[in-house]
Structure formats: structure tokens, C-alpha cells
Amino acid sequence: MAVQNVTQIKDYMSLIIGREVVIEVNKGRKKTVVRKGVIEETYPFFFTLRMDVDGSCQRVSFNYVDILTKTIELEVCS
């Protein structure tokens, strides 16, 4: 998906609520974290992702701008 603005990202994220995704978070200095999770909810400026980490449920939020600036990358699981 080629996105050019935050509105397109918000619309796309609304379509994939409840679907499992693989998220790659760029933490800087060549450090990345890859996790699986489910898009839980979208809000005007951010979205939430539910992940199972070490047997416990964890909720994390990200800004849509993070996708635009490639701080995070999402891949929808089929």
C-alpha cells in the first residue's frame, strides 16, 4: 500500500480493525522490534494494538504519522 497522507492511513487502519498484523518498530541505531498483534481500535490521532507478550495481554498505541515516517511498518497477516 502506497500512502501519501495521514487521512489515507486512518481510513486503511479503520478497515483492518480486528485483523492480525505483524509490526516492525524502528527503535533507532539499527534496533528493531518485530511483534504480532491485533488492531484493536482507531482514534482521530492514534490507533491501539493488542499484543500477547510472555503470556500477558499488552496494549500499545501508535500515531498514524509513525507509519507515514516509517518509524513503524505494518503487514496484515492473511
Residue 68 lies in a domain: yes
Q: 21-54 as b/e, with b when 16 or more CB fall inside 10 Å?
A: bebeeeeeeeeeeeeebbbeebeeeebbbebeee
- Span 42-76, pLDDT tens digits: 999 999 999 988 888 999 999 999 999 999 999 99
Residue 66 lies in a domain: yes
CATH of the domain at 27: 2.30.30.100
Q: Give 1's pLDDT tier (boundaries 50, 70, 90).
A: low
Residue 1 lies in a domain: no
Q: What is the pTM of this model?
A: 0.84
Average pLDDT, the chain: 91
Residue 40 lies in a domain: yes
Residue 41 lies in a domain: yes
CB-side neighbour CA atoms (13 Å) of 74: 27
Structural domain range at position 25: 6-76
